[in-house]
Amino acid sequence: MATRKIAVIVGSLRKESWNRKVGKALIMLAPPTLEMEIVEIGQLAMYNQDDDDAPPATYTEFREKLKQYHGVLFCTPEYNRSIPAVLKNAIDVGSRPYGQSAWSGKPCAVISASPGAIGGFGANHHLRQCLVFLNMPAMQQPEAYLGKIDTCFDGDQVSDEKTRAFLQKFIDTFAAWVERNAD
């Protein structure tokens, strides 16, 4: 198996974000076939189509960076039964100008985490709707909604063994998914 570069997109800007912790945990658990790194999205100004002819430097840098990756892992919280604005904005910035999406064809997976009981189910599925249009083959199983995530970590370390085992299964399955679907 080839080594594949994976962009980890975290849909939360909070310093102690549970989804950032999940993303970091998955990076640590990843098999050697995945070279994963968090790609920051907080620096992106809100997408405005008027800027397509002369995009801000942060848009161009983000788009060019995305093109270097073979796949994407999305780690998202749920805000009002949907994805956070910062994540939707990153999706929009990366997908433009029309016909030049930096996301197209990249295999991906979605994991959502929340202190709530349903683990970001709404955000997870809402994000998947965007991925269909972006032409990103999304891993279907295992579905990943991590509820009560605030009880699963001690600092930045996964302290709950069931959660660690699930994350290991998830990232191993994702590695195989990327290998089957990457260009």
Q: How far is CA 9 from CA 1, 14, 50, 94, 115, in A?
A: 24, 14, 25, 12, 20
Ordered structural domains, the chain, with CATH? 4-181 (3.40.50.360)
* Structure tokens belonging to residue 9: 């997109």
pLDDT beneath 70: ranges in the chain: 1
Check residue 88 and give its pLDDT: 98
Check residue 1 and give its pLDDT: 62
* Structure tokens belonging to residue 156: 């930045």
Residues 6+ apart with CB under 8 A from 22: 75, 111, 113, 146, 149, 167
What's the pTM value of the predicted model, to 2 decimals?
0.97
Supply the mean pLDDT for the chain. 96
Check residue 2 and give its pLDDT: 77
CA distance 81 to 131: 17
Q: Which residues is 34 bridged to in the sheet?
A: 4
**Percentage of the chain modeled with pLDDT above 90:** 97
Q: Is 143 exposed, middle or buried (0-12, 13-18, 19+ CB in 10 A)?
A: middle
Q: If DSSP codes are grouped into helix, strand and coil, which group holds residue 113?
A: strand
Q: What is the per-residue pLDDT across 32-84, written as a single tens digit (0 to 9) for each?
A: 999 999 999 999 999 999 999 999 999 999 999 999 999 999 999 999 999 99
CA distance 147 to 160: 12
CA distance 168 to 141: 13
Check residue 183 and give its pLDDT: 79
- Residue pointed to by tokens 């029309």: 98
Residues 6+ apart with CB under 8 A from 53: none
CA distance 151 to 159: 8
